[in-house]
């Protein structure tokens, strides 16, 4: 009887062996989700018992619109006695009646993405073959558990944190007042994996390039922002979010990615740096690349690759606005991702900086990274990708230039430690803040000790027009470790008048967060009538929800309105199995 395939069982149940061994049992749904460089099992049922002496069998794995063997997007999986780790191969591990269980091995360099499977069988005598196409696809992800994979991370606790943890903390505020908010990365939630694969499909990266994490991360950096490629998020720093969602209102990547996917790639409004970073963490962890969100306090934005933050003043010491394109943000959030860097000299693997916030273009596209943190720390700014830009964010000098009467400029002052403070990320295995500044830059403690010997009080009298936030004239006294121009003095104020003072002195409005006491607020919820909440009073809102995943979880609540932002809380809960 001619051999033919009746059915193929991908053994893809969440509770089955494949998903458990590949650490993909947390993903929603019953698709077969596997990690490259590791074997998985499938079961093939024939119309009669399979005879290893007279019958032959092979599989075909295809990904992308035009699969080709030469580009690694079409793999012919032959039946062998002992599979090799560096190639696609299959081995019979169990045979019972008409059913054969195969162990399929993929190389650690396999292209990641969505694969279609066909099974071809026939006789060794050369009779015509029959082909069966599997109705379900196989998802192949990066594998941090595989030593041969370039994203291999040799620490189980860190793999649990940077790949499997679906919640985290993102830091914001100022170096003197660091705030933290819990973020739901949700990489295993329903629809998120599909959205991440959709992003790869929508990008300009060919399927053959999806096996290299450097390429994938670089593309994700571009696709998370919508600046020039209709990516996921529209950036907005104007303060007007009336036609979208305020960046401070987001506390999860899940809704953003689902909305982007369901709209067939229409960008979601709006995001700022912490939202871009949160979504980037979700996408990278979902694809199997270890990732974390990182906050840099006093973060420089170097617009001209000078590796310095340049401030230009006229003859009267007033800022020259059209020249002052460089700036320092009180905080900026980007990402670290973990991978080997065979494209760089030895020693530059490990954590790589990647930034999805659209700041400057890289090779014509708004993206940044991956830049080796080792290269950033050692100042090797000639190494790719975008190492000079990230170096300037954490380690540039702040240079003040004054225009001379003949139109030339002279340097009048420089600050050596103005940027790159308290670089922070969530600690592995806890909700504490981990300071990773030492990974990005060398310690500058000796210089600090010398400067502090000359510290003293500085006093400035500032007049503010058109505001009732403060009296019309206010005197500020603070202890300073160095001399600085007058607009630097305002950074010590903890009042709403600071924003106006900064604008009056420098012509710039800074994206600064302030701590204020809630005296009166109006809440508007679909299930809560609008009402006022007085000082020191409490309002209670009851919401009903159905948990989708068992185990230890975090319940996050947030409040956002024009008058008050970044109000959020979190509670640890345990969800039991049914």
Q: Which residue from 193, 201, 188, 220 is spatially nearest to 264, judged by alpha carbons?
A: 201
Catalytic residue among 55, 166, 355, 386: 355
Report d(CA 535, CA 569) in Å as an integer: 19
Helix axes of 192-202 and 273-287: crossing angle, nearest 10 degrees: 100
Instruction: Give residue for tokens 């009166």.
Output: 520
Query: What secondary structure does DSSP assign to 340-354, as a single string?
Result: --TTS-TT--EEEEE
Report d(CA 325, CA 311) in Å as an integer: 8
Query: Is 355 marked active-site?
Result: yes
531 contacts 540 by C-beta, under 8 angstroms? no
Catalytic residue among 301, 332, 385, 421: 332
**Dihedrals φ, ψ of 120, to 5°?**
-115, 130
Q: Which residue from 449, 455, 498 is spatially nearest to 174, judged by alpha carbons?
A: 498
Burial class for 92, CB neighbours closer than 10 Å (0-12, 13-18, 19+): middle
Catalytic residue among 112, 196, 273, 498: 273
Query: Is 337 marked active-site?
Result: no
Burial class for 144, CB neighbours closer than 10 Å (0-12, 13-18, 19+): buried
Report d(CA 459, CA 486) in Å as an integer: 10
- Neighbouring residues of 537: CB distance < 8 A, sequence distance ≥ 6: none
Report d(CA 269, CA 4) in Å as an integer: 52
Report d(CA 284, CA 31) in Å as an integer: 19
Query: What secondary structure does DSSP assign to 160-181, as a single string?
Result: IIIII--EEEEEEEETTEEEEE
Query: Is 273 marked active-site?
Result: yes
Query: Which amino acids are annotated catalytic?
Result: 273, 332, 355
């Amino acid at each position: 009887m001619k051999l033919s395939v009746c059915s193929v069982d991908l053994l893809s149940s969440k509770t089955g062996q494949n998903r458990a061994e590949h650490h993909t049992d947390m993903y929603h749904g019953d698709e077969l989700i596997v990690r490259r460089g590791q074997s998985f099992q499938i079961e093939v049922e024939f119309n009669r018992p399979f005879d290893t002496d007279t019958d032959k069998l092979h599989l075909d794995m295809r990904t992308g619109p035009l699969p080709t063997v030469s580009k690694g997007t079409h793999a012919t999986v032959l039946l062998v006695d002992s599979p090799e780790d560096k190639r696609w191969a299959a081995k019979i591990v169990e045979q019972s009646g008409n059913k054969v269980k195969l162990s399929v091995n993929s190389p650690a360099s396999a292209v990641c993405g969505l694969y279609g499977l066909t099974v071809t069988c026939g006789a060794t005598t050369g009779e015509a073959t029959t082909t069966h196409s599997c109705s379900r696809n196989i998802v192949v992800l990066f594998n941090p558990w595989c030593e041969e994979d370039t994203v291999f991370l040799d620490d189980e606790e860190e793999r649990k944190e940077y790949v499997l943890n679906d919640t985290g903390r993102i830091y914001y505020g100022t170096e003197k007042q660091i705030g933290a908010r819990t973020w739901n990365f949700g990489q295993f939630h329903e629809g998120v994996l599909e959205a991440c694969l959709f992003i790869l499909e929508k990008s300009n990266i060919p399927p053959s390039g999806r096996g290299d994490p450097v390429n994938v991360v670089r593309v994700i950096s571009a696709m998370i922002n919508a600046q020039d490629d209709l990516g996921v998020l529209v950036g907005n720093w104007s303060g007007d979010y009336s036609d979208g969602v305020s960046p401070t209102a987001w506390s999860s990547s899940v809704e953003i990615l689902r909305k982007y996917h369901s709209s067939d790639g229409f960008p979601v409004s709006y995001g700022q740096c912490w939202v871009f970073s949160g979504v980037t963490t979700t996408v990278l962890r979902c694809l199997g690349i270890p990732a974390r969100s990182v906050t840099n306090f006093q973060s420089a934005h170097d617009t001209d690759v000078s590796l310095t933050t340049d401030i230009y003043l006229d003859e009267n010491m007033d800022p020259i606005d059209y020249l002052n394109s460089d700036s320092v943000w009180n905080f900026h959030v980007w990402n670290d991702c973990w991978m080997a860097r065979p494209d760089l000299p030895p020693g530059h693997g490990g954590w790589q900086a990647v930034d999805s916030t659209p700041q400057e273009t890289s090779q014509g596209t708004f993206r940044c990274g991956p830049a080796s943190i080792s290269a950033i720390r050692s100042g090797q700014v000639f190494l790719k990708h975008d190492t000079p830009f990230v170096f300037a964010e954490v380690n540039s000098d702040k240079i003040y230039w004054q225009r001379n009467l003949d139109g030339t400029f002279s340097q009048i002052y420089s600050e050596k430690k103005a940027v790159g403070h308290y670089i922070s990320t969530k600690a592995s295995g806890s909700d504490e803040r981990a300071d990773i500044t030492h990974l990005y830059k060398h310690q500058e403690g000796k210089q600090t000790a010398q400067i502090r010997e000359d510290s003293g009080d500085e006093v400035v009298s500032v007049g503010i027009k058109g505001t009732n936030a403060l009296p019309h004239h206010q005197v500020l006294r603070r202890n300073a470790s160095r001399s600085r121009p007058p607009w630097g003095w305002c950074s010590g104020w903890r009042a709403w008048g600071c924003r106006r003072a900064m604008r009056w002195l420098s012509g710039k409005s800074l994206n600064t967060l302030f701590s204020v006491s809630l005296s009166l607020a109006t809440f508007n919820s679909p299930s809560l009538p609008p009402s006022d909440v007085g000082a020191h009073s409490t309002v209670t809102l009851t919401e009903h929800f159905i948990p989708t995943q068992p185990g230890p979880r975090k319940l996050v609540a947030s409040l956002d309105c024009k008058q008050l932002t970044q109000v959020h809380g979190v509670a640890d809960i345990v969800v039991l199995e049914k």
